[in-house]
Amino acid sequence: MYAVKTDEASDVVQKIYDRVIQVSSRVLRNAKLFSIDILKQENPSYAEMAENLTKICSLIDFLVEEDDLKEHQWTCVKARDYARFVADVAKAIENNDEIKLKTLIAEMDKGSFL
């Protein structure tokens, strides 16, 4: 199997995590700015974005475990939190649930650096 040096693996994890933050931040910004009708037109859809982020989180988990990157265990947790946020936004959009969407936005604004 291909071996990645720990420093390189750590850099890869950080770059992937940065991308998770970028996508989640864009979702948060769009959810603040646009109506659900507009959000439904996004391509890829928010459900697809959430699915992709979940897969990316699995990749982060794999890299952290495979290369014993204990310093990035928090990265896995935070990445999953952001992926869950995007999945919850996707559900609110699919269900036309404006109240849930606003609640998610408020929660993310309180404790996040997105």
pLDDT, residue 91, reads: 98
Q: Which two tokens stand for residue 39?
A: 């959000």
Task: Please give the Cα distance from 60 to 91 (Å, whole number).
Answer: 24
**Placement of tokens 């919850």 in the chain:** 88
- Boundaries of every domain in the chain: 6-111
Task: Please give the Cα distance from 10 to 93 (Å, whole number).
Answer: 35
Q: How many CB atoms lie within 10 A of CB 61?
A: 17
Could you read off the pLDDT of 20-67 as tens digits, one per residue? Answer: 999 999 999 999 999 999 999 999 999 999 999 999 999 999 988 888
**8 A C-beta contact, residue 69 and residue 63:** yes
Task: Please give the Cα distance from 8 to 11 (Å, whole number).
Answer: 5
Q: Which helix (H) or strand (E) holds 50?
A: helix 46-66
Could you read off the pLDDT of 1-15 as tens digits, one per residue? Answer: 444 556 888 899 999
